Amino acid sequence: MFFSKAHLYPFNLIREIKDIRAGILTIAEKWELIAGQYPEEYRRWLSGSWPQQVLPGMDKEGNVKFLALEYPWHIAAYNEVFIRFDVHYLTQNKSSSPIPAYVTAISPENIFIEEGAEILPCIINASDGPVYIGKNALIMEGCCIRGPFALCEGAVLKMGAKIYGATTIGPYASVGGEIKNSVIMDYSNKAHDGYLGDSVIGTWCNLGAGTTNSNVKNTAGEVKVFVREKNEFMPAGRKCGLIMGDYSKSSINTSFNTGTVVGIAANVFGKGLTPKYIPDFAWGMEGEIFAAFDRLISSIHNWMDWKGKSLQDKEILKLKHIFEQSIKREI
């Protein structure tokens, strides 16, 4: 079986590929979960003879298939099969917490609720795919949810959120508005109204109120997305939204162009639709680099403090190295 090289910028810039979240779990967590069922593949994966971006998924008929994340938009495009796989293996020989009587549940047999999750009056439709509610997660009143869907540990759905499959909300993320076929990774926020579709958002991101992305061209033609490793735009299918790296933010009412790529630690603001590529550490839409690294780190500290976390020294050193390389590229 042949798998081509991964081009997963910006999600492999700070973390290793094995630590990328897709479905409910990271790639490494998936392999650990199924080590007993697929020991040969697991040993190959550990040894490096099986590419790190390859991970298992499951189709509607319950067949396991191995897929390669070659480009970042694949994280969203394949998310349905990843959610189905993770729910199947995470819930084996386990019992769901009861669905509250005031919840309108369609196909309740496909809904799994972990201990400590709080679900207020809402609608959950699991007829098209499983719905997984993680430990200590919160679904506020008035939410409408369609599977396949995963709300990971400690994550929050704000009041009236409208969620379409296949969507993952990562651990301790907080989201609202309308979301479709997207992955929002750990500790990120999209807490207000606005549309997010066919998108992948990294960790510790914040989308300001009213932020919306386009995921389809007006011509309904093929979307092309910038791949930094190749320094060219590549076809990504007819639907592709926002690709945003870790620690990046958008101001209120930001309008992201179809297939926009935002690097890490960028602060996106300005008039009109965004450009299709906004580099690491950008200040505004025009690609100007953050002037002061210390100011950037202070901002990240402030955001992390809201959720009781702090930036570790090794993470600061890694960010500083990437920042210095970005400055050199600009010069």
pLDDT digit string (tens) for 18-39? 999 999 999 999 999 988 888 9
Tell me: do 191 and 262 sit in the same domain.
Answer: yes
Q: Could you tell me if residue 271 is inside a domain?
A: yes
Q: How far apart are the first and last CA of the chain?
A: 42
Tell me: do 260 and 319 sit in the same domain.
Answer: no
Range of the domain at 321: 293-330
Cα 264-178-116 angle, rounded to 5 deg: 85
Instruction: Find the range with the poorest average confidence among 47-56, 101-110, 221-230, 315-324.
Output: 47-56
Tell me: do 274 and 150 sit in the same domain.
Answer: yes
Q: What percentage of residues in the chain have a pLDDT greater than 70?
A: 97
Closest CA to 100 of 115, 126, 121: 121
User: Mean pLDDT, to the nearest integer, of 279-290?
Assistant: 84
Cα torsion through 26, 138, 189, 179, rounded to 10: 80
Q: What percentage of residues in the chain have a pLDDT greater than 90?
A: 84
Please state, in angstroms and rounded to a whole number, the distance separating the CA atoms of residues 35 and 292.
45
Helices (H), the chain: 27-33, 39-47, 74-77, 79-90, 293-305, 313-330
Please state, in angstroms and rounded to a whole number, the distance separating the CA atoms of residues 219 and 215.
12
Tell me: do 267 and 298 sit in the same domain.
Answer: no
Q: How many domains does the chain have?
A: 3
Tell me: do 255 and 321 sit in the same domain.
Answer: no
Tell me: do 194 and 306 sit in the same domain.
Answer: no
* CA distances, 296 to each of 155, 265, 280, 310, 315 (Å): 26, 8, 12, 14, 13
Total-model pTM: 0.95
In the beta sheet, which residues pair with residue 25? 22
Tell me: do 67 and 191 sit in the same domain.
Answer: no
Band of residue 327 on the pLDDT scale cut at 50, 70, 90: confident
Q: Could you tell me if residue 105 is inside a domain?
A: no
Tell me: do 207 and 151 sit in the same domain.
Answer: yes
Domain C-terminal end among 26, 57, 90: 90
- The pLDDT score that the predictor gives to residue 325 is 85
Tell me: do 153 and 221 sit in the same domain.
Answer: yes
Instruction: Find the range with the poorest average confidence among 244-258, 276-290, 298-312.
Output: 276-290
Q: Could you tell me if residue 135 is inside a domain?
A: no
Token pair, residue 34, equals 């199924």
Tell me: do 303 and 274 sit in the same domain.
Answer: no
User: Residues 200, 76: contact at Cβ < 8 Å?
Assistant: yes
Judged against a pLDDT cut of 80, whether residue 328 lies above it is answered with: no
- The pLDDT score that the predictor gives to residue 36 is 87
| Exposure string over 227-247, b if 16+ CB within 10 A, otherwise e | beeeeeeeebeebbbbbbbbb
Tell me: do 181 and 82 sit in the same domain.
Answer: no
Task: Collect all residues with Cβ–Cβ distance below 8 Å to 118 and sequence separation of at least 6.
Answer: 136, 137, 138, 139
Please state, in angstroms and rounded to a whole number, the distance separating the CA atoms of residues 66 and 281.
34
Please state, in angstroms and rounded to a whole number, the distance separating the CA atoms of residues 281 and 198.
24
User: Mean pLDDT, to the nearest integer, of 3-25?
Assistant: 91
Instruction: Find the range with the poorest average confidence among 29-43, 76-90, 188-202, 250-264.
Output: 29-43
Average per-residue pLDDT in the chain? Answer: 94
Q: Could you tell me if residue 283 is inside a domain?
A: no
Instruction: Find the range with the poorest average confidence among 31-35, 83-87, 126-130.
Output: 31-35
Tell me: do 180 and 253 sit in the same domain.
Answer: yes
Q: Could you tell me if residue 166 is inside a domain?
A: yes
- The pLDDT score that the predictor gives to residue 115 is 97
Band of residue 98 on the pLDDT scale cut at 50, 70, 90: very high
